Amino acid sequence: MLKMTRLSKIYRTEVVETYALRDFSIHVQEGEFVAVTGPSGSGKTTFLTIAGLLEEFNAGRYELDGIDVRGLNDSRRSRLRNEKIGFIFQAFNLIPDLNVADNIEVPLRYRGLPASERRRRIHEALERVGLSARARHYPAELSGGQQQRVAIARALAGSPRLLLADEPTGNLDTQMARGVMQLLEELHRDGATIVMVTHDPELAIRAQREVHIVDGQVIAVAAQPHLVAGAEMQA
């Protein structure tokens, strides 16, 4: 599903050259739930933006759902992003002007779907996250947890091949966080491919597999994440 091979991303300013990702490789199969962890500044956010086709990279190869993304123009990348990927951001990033239903509709609009099809998908997505009653509400009227669930609904509405989550519970209190993680696990059980970036080891445990990044490179890949946590404490 998501396959990066020896990927490098360099940030250049006038004076300094920084490798955000160096010779980075990762392979996420369809239906996997992978956690990407690492200390702050390790490059996990860069990985996420490249995986989400939000940024370009300097070297290496990236295949998304079998498609090589190198050399695609902005229009094609946008289409790919729209069709294949569902984003779940730490800060929810709902559009405050629009109500819940209209927020979920945004990616569907760029797909060019007819109105009836859009309505159906919105309805299904809201049902899935349990917020059908709030379709006409505005983000400001919802709690943090509800807003994040709306964001997940927005990600789901387009039937993406891949869900990319960036610290999905970062702005939520414990109870809401639990609810959101439960939802993500449900989605995984139903067959979704999820890549979740987090710095919280307790969250990382709930994934199937953990990829640990330090200084732009993969340090460890473990099927039992708790082992990695132990290794970190020793180092």
Residue count at the site for other proteins (CB under 8 A)? 30
Whether the CB-CB separation of 154 and 182 falls below 8 Å is answered with: no
Q: Which residue type is seen at 112?
A: G
Whether the CB-CB separation of 121 and 46 falls below 8 Å is answered with: no
- If we measure between CA atoms, which residue out of 235, 171, 167 comes closest to residue 202? 167
The number of residues in the chain equals: 235
Binding mask 153-182 for other proteins (x = CB under 8 A): -x---x-------x----------------
8 in contact with other proteins (CB under 8 A): no
Enumerate residues 82-111 that contact other proteins by CB under 8 A.
Answer: 82-83, 87, 89-91, 93, 95, 97-98, 106-107, 109-111
75 in contact with other proteins (CB under 8 A): yes
Stretch that binds other proteins, among 8-16, 73-81, 137-145, 225-233 (CB under 8 A): 73-81
The most distant pair of C-alpha atoms in the chain lies apart, rounded to whole Å, by: 56
Between the two ends of the chain, the Cα-to-Cα distance in Å is: 32
Of 193 and 225, the one with the shorter C-beta distance to other proteins is 193
225 in contact with other proteins (CB under 8 A): no
Enumerate residues 24-53 that contact other proteins by CB under 8 A.
Answer: 45, 49, 52
Of 42 and 228, the one with the shorter C-beta distance to other proteins is 42
The whole-angstrom separation of Cα 41 and Cα 227 is 22
Q: Rule CB under 8 A: choose which of 66, 71, 112, 114 binds other proteins.
A: 112
Q: Rule CB under 8 A: choose which of 5, 78, 159, 182 binds other proteins.
A: 78
Whether the CB-CB separation of 38 and 214 falls below 8 Å is answered with: yes
119 in contact with other proteins (CB under 8 A): no
Using CB under 8 A, list all residues that contact other proteins.
45, 49, 52, 54-55, 74-75, 77-79, 81-83, 87, 89-91, 93, 95, 97-98, 106-107, 109-112, 154, 158, 166
